Amino acid sequence: MRRYVLTGTPGAGKTSILRCLAERGYAVVEEAATAVIAQAQAQGEDEPWTRTSFIDDVVDLQKQRQLETSATTSVQVFDRSPICTYALARYQGLSASRALITEIERITAEEVYERQVFFIRNLGFCEPTSARRISFKESLVFEELHEQSYREFGYELIDIPADCLNRRVATISSSISPSAL
C-alpha cells in the first residue's frame, strides 16, 4: 500500500488537485479538518477550531479514514495527514495533544504514508470560506509551519509550485506509478 500526502497552506489548491486525481482513477481521501468544521457548523457552532477538542477530533477522523481505506487500493492520495494537524496545533499556539502524539508515533512506526510528500505551494492569494478564515499573510505563516513540521518528522517535500491545475496534477500523477492504479 502506497499512501501519498498533499500538503500546503489553505487555499493552495489541494482539494482541486485531489478531485482531478480522483477523475484519473486514484483513490483519494479528503481533508478531515474541513469535515469536522462543516459538521460542527451545521450544528450551529460558528468557530469549532477554537474548542479544545478540535485537534483531537481531526486526528480521530484522519485515523478513521486512513484505516477504513487501508485495503481498498494499492495507491491512495490523502489531502493532509496528522503532520498537518501537528502544524495546525503549532499555528494555534497549542502543544501537541497526547492523541496527536500517539497518532504520529503510529504512522511513523507503521510507515503509513510515503516519505515523499507533495507540497502544494500557495497561489498568491487565499480566498476565505466558512471553514477557511485566514488572510493570505497568515496563510504564508501556516505554509512555513507545514514545511517545518514535515521536515522535522523526516519527510521529503516534493515541491509543486503555483501553476495551472492540469500541470500540477500531471506533475503529481507522473510521480506516482500509473501501473499501481
Query: Which residue ranges make up each domain of the chain?
Result: 2-174
Burial of 43 (0-12, 13-18, 19+ CB in 10 A): exposed
Instruction: Looking at mean pLDDT, say which of 8-12, 42-46, 129-133, 146-150 comes out highest.
Output: 146-150
Give CATH for domain 2-174: 3.40.50.300
Q: What is the pLDDT of residue 60?
A: 95
How far is residue 93's CA from residue 105's CA, in Å, rounded to a whole number? 21
Give, rounded to a whole angstrom, the gap between the first and last alpha carbons of the chain: 11
C-alpha cell at 106: 503510529
Which pTM does this prediction carry?
Answer: 0.90
Digit-coded pLDDT (tens) for 171-181: 999 999 655 44
pLDDT grade for 8, boundaries at 50, 70 and 90: very high
> pLDDT for 23-37, tens place per residue?
999 999 999 988 998
Averaged confidence pLDDT in the chain: 90
